[in-house]
Amino acid sequence: MSDMFEMNIDKLKQLSLRSEKGQPKRQAQNDENIKQELHRRTLLKFAMLCRKLNVDPLHPKSIHVALLLFSKIKDKKRLLGGFLSHPCCKSVKQIHVDWRALDEGEMDLNDVFCAMSDWMLILNYLNPAIDAQFADALSRESVILRLRTSWKVGGLELVYPATIERMMTVFAYMAPHKLSATKMVERLLVGEGESCRDLEFRCLRMTNNFMDVSVDEDESLLNMLQIIPCMITRQNFFADMKAVLTREEKMSAAQALVPKKTRLQMRYVTKESANNTHSEYQESFDTWLGQQKFTVTMSRHLQLLLYFIHVQVDKIPKDSYAVHFTDNMLSRMQDVKVQSIDANAVITVIKSLRVYHHNVNDLLDFRSTCLSGFNQYTRNNLSLAQILQLYVCSFQHASIIQQCWKSIVPVWTHTTATAVQNFTSTRKFDYKPVIDSVVQCQVQDAL
């Protein structure tokens, strides 16, 4: 039998060597893919936390606000008020935190973003940013002096020099509540790559020495307001967050197209048959856009906003939105009658409202009257931005109102429909703050 098979032993060895060389490369690629997926999920969890707090995750101070609200300081309102009145927040958009989400026990935000690995990743986006003069003044403050003394007591000075930037970073990593300050400092130093013997024991001695003093609440609050405002967010955070949010939107849109398992009923068969029936021409946002004479430099976000304004039930005066467009843009817009509203285009505009800026007069009444058809769990988990989105949905044309509403919350009952109809029959659509919010959320921070 041996003469029936000819085998080249040398080539077989080469093949096995190639296979062995490829294994470490595949393993490294798999490890990198796992790290990227964990990174993406952490950013998604942070974005979810921001939405529940009514904070834009793309805001320059979103990490600072989250850190302050989940710090060891008890008086969160006073702490955040001091931070938002700090000169570092003077040139940024105003933040309106939804304190209901923090105060009510039904929404435990600690379950949304609580792991040590989550905070390690998100705090890695913060960097100290102070000039030499301010660094010299800050180094003489009691909190920095205590930190440096504790650093020497822990025996960390020889391997990790106690620079003012490192002390500020260490203080920020020790701030999150319900997390071990010792473990946070240890993982921070491990990430720097320097090797240190008995690092866990040294960090434990350092944190014990730093915290083994009688410090009142006012002094702790002042220490936070001295250091945290001097941290800035790295620019790659915004690129990473935009990429994650864009991917999330695409995945949500794809999942919405996946047919759901339903009981065998005639209405589902009829609906599926109607969706499978291809028509030669169907009016949509793109067909409306093709009849306009907009310039190629005009962004799609602005085009969608003009379409949204154009298809409203009550005509919106031009002076209410003219400030957001140039005269050239508005002069090119043609008065094209829309026979069939593209619900997807309207939903895109509505979903771009990521935060609520506390400027819609009837939103409180809408919240108390139109959400009664929801169960308690759904009602408690609605963010202020989602309530604003539902408010805008309720004033859309009757042909798309249900589709718009269910794109936000998949609940549309007779109770809800009646409540929305009664609300819209006695109220006018407060369109101006809605358009202003769309411009802030959709255009200025466009994904």
- Amino acid identity at 351: K
- β-sheet bridge partners, residue 231: 128
Give the pLDDT score at 101: 81
Give the pLDDT score at 188: 93
- Amino acid identity at 49: L
Give the pLDDT score at 106: 46
Give the pLDDT score at 446: 43
Q: Which two tokens stand for residue 261?
A: 């398992």
Give the pLDDT score at 251: 67
Q: What is the pLDDT along the chain (447 residues), one digit of tens a residue?
A: 455 556 677 776 776 766 666 666 666 666 677 788 888 999 999 999 998 899 999 999 999 999 999 999 999 999 999 999 999 898 888 899 988 888 765 456 767 788 899 999 999 999 998 888 888 999 999 999 999 999 999 999 988 999 999 999 999 999 998 899 999 999 999 988 777 888 999 999 999 999 888 778 889 999 999 999 999 999 999 999 988 888 887 666 555 555 555 566 676 666 666 555 555 556 788 888 888 878 877 888 888 999 999 999 988 888 888 888 888 888 877 777 888 899 999 999 999 898 898 888 889 899 989 988 888 888 888 889 999 999 999 999 999 999 999 999 988 889 999 999 999 999 999 999 999 888 887 655 544
DSSP collapsed to 3 states, the chain: CHHHCCCCHHHHHHHHHHHHHHHHHHHHHHHHHHHHHHHHHHHHHHHHHHHHCCCCCCCCCHHHHHHHHCECCCCHHHHHHHHHCCHHHCCCCCCCCCHHHHHCCCCCHHHCCCCHHHHHHHHCCEEECCCHHHHHHHCCCHHHHHHHHHHHHCCCCCCCCCCHHHHHHHHHHCCECCCCHHHHHHHHHHHCCCCCCCHHHHHHHHHHHHHCCCCCHHHHHHHHHHHHHHEEECHHHHHHHHHHHHHHHHHHHHHHHCCCCCCCCHHHHHHHHHHHCCCCCCCCHHHHHHCCCCCCCCCHHHHHHHHHHHCCCCCCCHHHCHHHCCHHHHHHCCCCCCCCCCHHHHHHHHHCCCCCCCCCCCHHHHHHHHCCCCCHHHHHCCCHHHHHHHHHHHCCCCCCHHHHHHHHCCCCCHHHHHHHHHHHHHCCCCHHHHHHHHHHHHHHCCC
Give the pLDDT score at 3: 54
